[in-house]
Each structure stands twice: as structure tokens, then as C-alpha cells.
Structure 1
Amino acid sequence: MNCLELRRAALTDPHRLDAGTLRHAEQCPACMQFLGRGLEAEARLAAALRIPVPEDLPGRLLERTDTAPRPLRWLALAASLLIALALAFVIGTPRPDALALAGIDFVVFEEAQAIADAKPADAAVLARVARDMGVSLPHQLGEIRYVGTCPFAGATAHHVLVKSPLGKVTLLLLPARPLASRAAAAAHGLEAAMVPAAAGSVAIIGGSARSIVRTETLLKSS
């Protein structure tokens, strides 16, 4: 596996990468960054495609263009270009997601207490929840140091602490919290991503964008 092969695979489907590709990404910061940009671009494109377009918009635009005097046509064209540039800026500059920020706040301010207050957890329950959500928990994630449940954002989260090759990662599996598309945020020196699952969603909080991308890719490797 080399950088070119990884990038070809990522352009085909960044969510379905084999073990060799993931090993290369872990050892190559440039490729890991490329994967992160690809996932972010997919999320922005999905968000843009969900913006509804009025059914009669093409007809209205053609009608106005045909009937407008020539100087006004140039003004209309300029206005259209400005709108396109503004949309590109908005789509290309996503705002920090509130739920992803809540995940960071949980790790910074609440995680230690949540672990202290938690009842003994059953690993079999976590495995069943992950399976029902369509989430993979392969051994490549790293050493699972803690499993429990806790309240998060008005729902019950299955709380997992992982010691990964890229540092500590917190997972919050939210089977009752569906999500349309990926969202991200950064605060307090941490990165977070909210990732849709087949059922529900997963919050991933870690110390770097590389650790987030690595974990997200492994969760979707089933």
C-alpha cells in the first residue's frame, strides 16, 4: 500500500477501507489528513443536497432571462454568481455542531464523574447494541478501558473509553438518536465528530483529527 493507492481507495469510498489501507493511514499523517478532508467533503455535499429547490425555479429563471433587457441580464448573471460564491463559502465553512460540542463538554467536565457513578456494565450488552446500530468494534480500535451507560443530550449513551494508538478516544453510542449526516466541532483542545449509524448515531471525541478519522473508519468497517 502506498499513498497513491490509499487516495484512490478513499476517493472510491472513504467509509470502506481495508486493514492495509488503515495501517498506512496511521503511519502517514498526510494520508490521514486526506481521509479527514474526504469525510468532511462528503458531509458538506450531503448537507447541500438536502437544501430544497423550488420546483418552478428553473422555469422562473428562464422566463426572467428571456424577458429582461440586456443590461439587466448582466446584472442577473452577476447576482447569480455572487449567490453561488456565497453558497460555496457557507457550505465550505461548516459551523461547529452543537451535539459534537456537547460531546467535548461531556469529556472535559462530566466523564470522570460518569465513570465514578456508573453501575457495572455488561460487555455483551454493548456488543448487541453496536450490532443493532450497524457499528463495528474491531480489535484494531485499541484497548477498551471502560464500558458503561450514562445520560447524554437527553438520551442514554453507551459510553466506551478506548486507548488507541493515537491516544484516548471516547465513544458515545446513541441508538435512539438518529442523525442525517456527519457533523464536527473542536474545543478545549479536543476534536469531536457526530457520525450517523444504520440506527442512531455515534459521538467520537479524541485529541486529534487523525484519531477521529481513524476511529470513524474502523467503526464503519463491518
Structure 2
Amino acid sequence: MNCLEFRRLKLADPRRLTGAARTHANACAGCFAFAQRVDESEALLERALMVPVPEGLADRILLRQTDAIRPRRRVFALAAGVVFAVAAGAIVLTITPSNDAARLAIEHVLNEPESLTTFRNAESPLFHSIVHAFGGEIKEPLGRVRYVKLCPVEKGTGWHIVLETPQGLATLILVPDQHITAPESATVAGWSARAEPTRRGYYAVVTGSEGTTSLVHRLIEERIQWNT
């Protein structure tokens, strides 16, 4: 078993590993550390989901989902277009400039289009816990949290978060323990990303246009205080 196979297995089912996977982790320091980070993230998720849900929250969520049917249909059509383009091999990369962190963030969104049309760990305290662990403090809400998932990224894992902001849907990817030296920007297939360094790693914002990405980035800078 190689490292990539181990990490896929660990992310697919963190609590159940094959004998071969356990043997690999015991022999590979990098994968052993990776497994520990995944276990810590799973524990964080469990603690966050154990927080009591306020009475009537489910009814309020259903009401807002009903009110948002039309916007979500538009988002679904956009995501379906991404899937079709990938399947047809029609996506042409136009990266400006060629910056890996921002480019990889867009590629991650393109490879997970369901994040724009589904709800996962929505309306839970998990987002605040993740930002806090990442060295940030949320001073004001960014918007409605729709999707939160721990995903494999280059050389590790990162949190994939989708928010309904005043500027529309935006993806926020938090990548701990990996660092960039300066802000990065990229455009791929009409999608725009901006990556920003923080003390504990970097974060990337991905939206459907450069203007929206700039506005969401400004919103994050105004409403999240990153420890320096």
C-alpha cells in the first residue's frame, strides 16, 4: 500500500482501517501524522454536532430552503454545467497568474460540484470551531453555512466550506500547516480564486467572478480576525 491509497482509505472511513493500512501507518511517519490529524478533525466534528439545536431551528431552515428554491435551481444549473464541461473535456485553463494555491482551490471546487447544490453539516457550530482552530475569530457572521467537509488537498487535508454571503455563493477552503509567502490569484474556466496566507496555513476564496471573489475576500477580512 502506498501513501495515496492509505490517505484515501483513511478519509473514506476514518474509524475502520484494513490491516494493511494500519501496517502502512505504523511504518510511515507522514501517514501516521496524517491519520492523527484526521482523527482530531473527526473528534472536533463530533463535539460540534453534539451541541443542542435550538427549538424551532429545523422549521426555520425548511422555510428558508423553500424561499431559496429558485436561486438554488440556478446554482444547480451552474454546477451541472461544470460537470458536463469536465466530462466533455471542454474546460480550458486560463490561469492568471500561475499560482498553485489559488489554482488548486478552483480545481477542488470543479472536482466537487455537489458542494454547490447540497447541504452538509449546515447551520452547525462546526464552522466557528474550525475557524477558531485555524487561528481566527469570527466577529460577525459571513452568511449562511451550507456545506462543511474535510477534504484531501495537496500534501494533506483542508476544510471545504460553502457559504451564502450577501454577494452570493462562495467557497472558502482552509488549508492548515501549508504556507504561501504572498497573496495569490487565479482564474480557471471562468472561476476566480484568491489565496491568502495566515499564521497557521492559508485560506482560499472561490467564486464565479473576479469581482465577487474580491468582495467576499473583503468581507472575510472585515469579519474574521486572524491571529498574527
TM-score (norm 2): 0.48
Q: Point out the structure with the larger helix share.
A: 1
Q: Which has the higher contact order (CA 8 A, sep 6+)?
A: 1
Which of the pair has more CA radius of gyration?
A: 1
